Structure 1
Amino acid sequence: MALSTSSLLFSHLSIPKTPKPPRLLFKTHNPTLSLRLRCSSSTATPASTSFDLRSYWTSLISVIESELDDALTVQYPENMYEAMRYSVFCGGAKRAPPIMCIASCELFGTPRAAALPTAAALEFVHAASHVHDDLPCMDAAPLRRGRPSTHAQYGVDVALLVGDALFPLGYNHVIAKTPPDLVPRDALVSVLNEIARTVGCTGMAAGQLLDLTGAAASGEVEVLQVLEKKFGALAECSAVCGGMLAGAGEEDQAALREYGRTVGVLYELVDDVLMESNGQAGKMRSNVSVVRTLGMERALELVEQLRDKAKNGLQRFGDQYGDRVLPLYSFVDYAVERGFVVEGGVEAGSMAAAAASSAAASS
């Protein structure tokens, strides 16, 4: 199925082909593979302050786990809630959407407490999308992060309902738990509208449909548009929701949208390069492979160009907010280099003390 090259959404990611400059090597957490990327002419991450993304990320995970745990307690019907917890709490969950949301909120000097309920909601949406994507009628994935996917563990019928239940749980949590003294009501309405747009027929649902119909195999415009909708939409939502909660203006929101969308596509594109380089044929039935559609050389060009695009879009925030932009810059490098392995998704009850300590330190 061919897609129009005049697509409004795709125009944000339109990337020209460029001459081939000298290559650089970047190490990933996989010791058997390095990404061969080109030299970049973009502005590098500001170096005025040493920023440790790994420490920032791991300190936030404990807080997010506690928020998720409080929002998702087992009640009647117990088997439904147990399956929901199984889907949300699993080893290897990086919690990238909620962390990006919190980082965007803190960029404007707003306390992270304002963003935590929305951050949890984004993780519920993320988990629900995985549950549905893994179903036999979708990507047909028997495993998720090294263990049986939800439908393989609990059955297709329960998995379908789990996904359906996680989406509204996120909306309810935003409304019930966002501190009214930190976030005005109209900002909550904007956040809920943004999440609804993201999961619907203009975002993730459309991306999954286009993937199933094989649109990604048509060409560069088409494969990048599938990546943008299926994966970039949630990252865009995560970045802009943090800004909305902090009262960001329209121009800043637009910049966060473009940044998040670009990072989401970049991350999946690097995953594609890594999988194809290791001889894996993609993710189950998924047809989204830039490498198979465009070739490894063009895929690597796109990786570097998207990296430049994401960083250049953050310069306005560096000028305004200084070192508070460093987490967002570092996410871009992590999307490409994977310099460390993030461990998450542990049952949150055992992490309550660490979460309380971290929350107190940031208040």
Structure 2
Amino acid sequence: MILVFLLHKFSQMKLIRTFLVIILIQIIFPMFFPERFTLKAQVLCLGGECSNIPFEYQVLGNFAGPALDKIYTNGFLRSMGENAVLQNINSNQAGGQNVPSYRMGLGYTISRGQSKARDFYYENSELRNLPKQGVAASPSISFTANLGEWIPSAYAKRWNATTHFFPYEFSEANIPFVKIRNTEVRGKIQNYGVVFRYYPETSGFSYGFGFLQTNQDLYLSSYDRRPTQFRIDGDKRRWLGVNDLFYQSRITSFSFDMKYNWTIGFLSIVPGIGYVYNQGFTSLQVSRYALISTRVNPDDFSSDPSVLGIRLATRYDHVSSFGYGSLGFRLGQGNFSLTTEFLAGKEMQSANLSLNYQF
């Protein structure tokens, strides 16, 4: 009875006021928690040719320090994380219509951002094939329950709870939008969340809030097919080596959205707007180990064998928020329905296609 009483206190006007307060929080809160972007570079050189490399190049390295700072910038890492969050939100499949009992759904969601990595310092090596655009994609399973099935109250029947989860391991073959040649790709996505949605009587509007967890791991490995050119202190050299990249994100989010459902026969059109607050991190590690040629002869790797190792690591702490618009379409026939929804934020978009069964 206490839960029914609390639900009853959530009137439509209070939900609208809550929506406006959250908008203000999204604008003001990040001002007091600045974003952090740290870069660490380690360079190791073994062999006789190392004496021909100035010390400052080995420590700071024109081919080390600026690499992630100029290519995988804080803006790009933020884009990677926010794309994953937008994809996670769209995977929930909450919809704009009240589910009177229970519903199961199976869908696939993709998200892509417009923020791109800048020109790679290693453009003349196989590292040029590493991804330069934020992408997220995975299938998901959702389950929706009407709270009236658990709480004997007419008001509780206006509430739905939708949860989604899908552990997903991928390879190069099933990553959309990413074309990486001659590179081993593998990774894992574990996204989950729960969204509560309130449907006022006969208004067509609905209001939802939810909590989501976004976990991503991505690993890429490649090797140079042929020696490529680079410069050290103006001298032309060549190197031949192996490259590795590891990307990881752990982001917790709180979302709030408002949708309007418009039904014509078996077709429903559901536009909406939403905001999400994120806290977590994205990190990136890049390493390259390569044989380097002599200063006298760029094609000579054997007379004085030398190895150069570079390891770059960066971490971006997310305390951010963004708004998005949504547009959904639902085709219903009996207990089955086919739903697609498009979400768009600043410099990123997401699309979801799902098949649902109501019982």
Higher strand share: 2
State the TM-score, normalizing by the size of structure 2.
0.26
Higher helix share: 1
The structure whose RCO (Cα within 8 Å, separation 6+) is larger is: 1
